[in-house]
Amino acid sequence: MPHDPEQPSLFDLTSPAPAGPVLAGDVVIREVRCKSLLNRGRIDDYSFNAYVGCAHACGYCYARFMQRFHPHTEAWGRFVDVKINAVEVLARQLRKLPAGRVFTCSACDGWQPLEQRYRLTRECCRLLLDAGFDIHVLTKSRLVLRDLDLFAGRAVRLGVTITTPDERWARLWEPGAASVAGRLDILRQAKAAGLETTVMFGPLLPGISDTDEAIGQLFGWAAELGVDRIWTDILNPRPRVWPGVQAVLKAHAPELYEPTRQMLFEAPARRAYQRKLNERIHHAAERAGVANRMG
Q: Which residues form the interface with ligand SF4 (CB under 6 A)?
A: 54, 56-58, 61, 63, 108-109, 140, 174, 177
CB of 182 to ligand SF4, least distance (A): 13
Cα angle, residue 175 at apex, residues 169 and 180 outer, rounded to 5°: 55
Nearest to 52 by CA among 73, 34, 35, 38: 34
CB of 175 to ligand SF4, least distance (A): 9
Query: What letter would DSSP give residue 4?
Result: P
How many whole angstroms separate alpha carbon 260 and alpha carbon 265? 9
Q: Which residues of 193-221 are buried (b: 16+ CB within 10 A; e: fewer)?
A: bebbbbbbbbbbbbebbbeeebbbbbbbb
Query: Which residue, 159 or 285, has its beta carbon nearer to ligand SF4?
Result: 159
Are the C-beta atoms of 208 and 253 separated by less than 8 Å? Answer: yes
CB of 199 to ligand SF4, least distance (A): 14
Query: Which residue, 109 or 210, has its beta carbon nearer to ligand SF4?
Result: 109
CB of 121 to ligand SF4, least distance (A): 13
Rg, C-alpha atoms of the chain:
19
User: Helices 180-192 and 212-225: crossing angle, nearest 10°?
Assistant: 30
Query: Which residue, 94 or 138, has its beta carbon nearer to ligand SF4?
Result: 138
Cis peptide upstream of residue 254 (ω within 30 degrees of 0): no
CB of 108 to ligand SF4, least distance (A): 5
CB of 58 to ligand SF4, least distance (A): 3
134-139 and 156-162 strand pairing: parallel
CB of 112 to ligand SF4, least distance (A): 7
Are the C-beta atoms of 116 and 13 separated by less than 8 Å? Answer: yes
Are the C-beta atoms of 138 and 104 separated by less than 8 Å? Answer: yes
Query: Which residue, 75 or 129, has its beta carbon nearer to ligand SF4?
Result: 75
Query: Which residue, 38 or 57, has its beta carbon nearer to ligand SF4?
Result: 57
Query: Which residue, 80 or 288, has its beta carbon nearer to ligand SF4?
Result: 80
Query: Which residue, 64 or 157, has its beta carbon nearer to ligand SF4?
Result: 64
Torsion of CA 179, 180, 183, 184, to 10 degrees: -140
Amino acid at 202: G
